[in-house]
């Protein structure tokens, strides 16, 4: 492999900068997928028997999920620096006289998945988080659950946001209707909760062999569809039966997807977790920005995570995309701007936006209106920071257009808004431009605590704090 470029990171307690140093060449394996880790934790915590999760992610979001499940009585043993998690759901509390207080920080997957699963299991729970969490919408999920809830479930902040109070005796046998335009996590949460509800329904029926199935109807467009397929795949690995039916939207029928869940509930298994494809996007982008070559190990185009599709987007911009059974490689510079719908891979929009700063011509990103409701407004706040670098940005209802700076990237100190993806993506601008500094780099701990150390390893210089 050619000599590594002389790039280096110069971190501080409150900021980090990446110094330009030529084409990035190398190979790296990101940590386990956050999305898969938290989905597997939910299924394992509601399963009969014990489960072992390997290749798991150690991060704030997964720690929040683990702490919350432990508060509910689930026995969880974490080893090998967080990569192996053993889960025994037999100890989960069934005491309906106790209200379990769960702190969710700013983990969207945790609050949405737990709200659905715990309401299906039954019991009393209060879920709250940081200030930003209390601004993030959850009303569509709570409204869906309220229709089938035997008991009550309410949000306690204006606009249908957390905190959430659950007082549940399980679900009725009514079909569920949920909106799909704001977040795929609503449907994913309901899907994963359905086997829990079936198990509880069977217990209430004194072990009757047949208790029917659970039908979930998605109203309107479903955003981030690959995450729904990921959820179904994880559920099937734990023994659930899931069927997803596409329905053409028309003037009469407002349902776009119909999900039927059946079976005996979850069973404990040994489950291996893929490397995180969203995290991989930053390393592929490093090659695309610098004209280098980076292989991400452990992922293939057949991975469960839709974000591996980011490589195809870079290919449209002029990069070369290769893959084999060991990994996926991006090489060459992303030379041209494109017009792309990123609805299915919306967690990589910020990564693409930074790549687009170095392309010849504008890049239009479509289909990601729901990105405004993430950890921060990932359209408006992203546009603000890209302008500091000299880009001209047009905001649209469903995305943005990035016009690269005509006279090169400007030196700038960039805000991250406590958003891990803002920190990781914006830092990449420093690979090919001087004077780029990113504030609050520690927010990457939400999903990727070792990001800057891994980036530094890839570009070939030791990590130095000052």
Q: Specify binding-site residues.
A: 34-35, 39, 108, 136, 183-185, 224, 347, 374, 378, 421, 446
* Residue found under tokens 């991400």: 296
CA distances from residue 267 to 52, 90, 263, 333 in whole angstroms, order as listed:
12, 12, 11, 47
Interhelix angle 451-459/277-290, rounded to 10 degrees, is: 40
Cis status of the peptide bond prior to 451, with omega within 30 of 0: no
| H helix count then E strand count, the chain | 12, 23
In three-state secondary structure terms, 353 is: helix
Helical ranges in 154-248 per DSSP H? 184-204, 225-237
What is the distance between the alpha carbons of residues 297 and 112, in angstroms, rounded to a whole number? 30
Residue 267 CB neighbour total at 10 angstroms: 17
Residue 448 CB neighbour total at 10 angstroms: 27
Strand order in the sheet with 399-403: 339-341, 363-366, 399-403, 392-396
**Burial group, residue 318, by CB count within 10 angstroms (0-12, 13-18, 19+):** middle
As annotated, the active-site residues are 347
Which residues carry a binding-site annotation for phosphoenolpyruvate?
34, 108, 136, 185, 378, 421, 446
Strand order in the sheet with 327-331: 25-28, 293-297, 327-331, 320-323
Which residues carry a binding-site annotation for 3-phosphoshikimate?
34-35, 39, 183-185, 224, 347, 374
In three-state secondary structure terms, 43 is: helix
Chain center to CA of 288: 23
Q: Which tokens is 76 given?
A: 């969880």
What is the distance between the alpha carbons of residues 421 and 443, in angstroms, rounded to a whole number? 9
DSSP 160: T
What is the distance between the alpha carbons of residues 138 and 262, in angstroms, rounded to a whole number? 25
């Amino acid at each position: 492999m050619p000599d590594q470029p002389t790039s280096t990171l110069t971190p501080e307690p409150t900021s980090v900068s990446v110094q330009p140093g030529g084409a990035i060449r190398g190979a790296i394996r990101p940590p386990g997928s956050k999305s898969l880790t938290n989905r597997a934790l939910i299924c394992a915590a509601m399963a009969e028997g014990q489960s072992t999760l390997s290749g798991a992610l150690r991060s704030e979001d997964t720690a929040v999920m683990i702490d919350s499940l432990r508060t509910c009585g689930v026995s969880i043993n974490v080893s090998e620096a967080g990569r192996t998690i053993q889960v025994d759901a037999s100890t989960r509390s069934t005491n309906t006289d106790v209200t379990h207080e769960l702190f969710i920080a700013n983990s969207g997957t945790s609050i949405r998945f737990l709200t659905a699963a715990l309401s299906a299991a039954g019991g009393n729970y209060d879920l709250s988080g940081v200030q930003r969490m209390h601004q993030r919408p959850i009303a569509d999920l709570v409204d869906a659950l309220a229709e089938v809830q035997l008991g009550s479930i309410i949000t306690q902040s204006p606009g249908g946001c957390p905190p959430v109070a659950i007082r549940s005796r399980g679900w009725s046998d009514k079909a569920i209707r949920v909106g799909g335009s704001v977040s795929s996590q609503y449907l994913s949460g309901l899907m994963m909760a359905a086997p829990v509800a079936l198990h509880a329904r069977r217990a209430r029926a004194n072990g009757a062999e047949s208790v029917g199935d659970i039908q979930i109807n998605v109203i309107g467009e479903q955003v981030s569809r690959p995450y729904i397929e990921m959820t179904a795949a994880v559920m099937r690995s734990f023994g659930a039966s899931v069927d997803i039916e596409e329905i053409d939207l028309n003037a009469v029928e407002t349902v776009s997807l119909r999900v039927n869940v059946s079976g005996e509930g979850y069973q404990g298994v040994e489950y291996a977790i893929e490397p995180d494809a969203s995290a991989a996007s930053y390393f592929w982008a490093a090659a695309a920005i610098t004209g280098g070559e980076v292989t991400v190990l452990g992922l293939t185009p057949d991975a469960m995570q839709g974000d591996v599709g980011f490589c195809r987007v870079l290919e449209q911009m002029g990069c070369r995309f290769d893959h084999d059974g060991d990994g996926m490689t991006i090489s060459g510079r992303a030379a041209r701007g494109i017009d792309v719908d990123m609805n299915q891979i919306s967690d990589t929009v910020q990564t693409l936006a930074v790549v687009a700063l170095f392309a010849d011509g504008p890049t239009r990103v479509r289909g990601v209106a729901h990105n405004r409701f993430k950890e921060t407004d990932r359209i408006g706040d992203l546009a603000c920071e890209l302008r500091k670098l000299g880009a001209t940005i047009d905001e649209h209802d469903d995305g943005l257009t990035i016009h690269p700076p005509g006279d090169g990237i400007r030196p700038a100190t960039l805000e991250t808004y406590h958003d891990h993806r803002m920190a990781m993506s914006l830092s990449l601008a420093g690979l090919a431009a001087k004077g780029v500094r990113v504030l609050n780099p520690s927010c990457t701990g939400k999903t990727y605590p070792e990001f800057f150390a891994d980036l530094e390893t890839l570009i070939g210089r030791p990590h130095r704090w000052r």
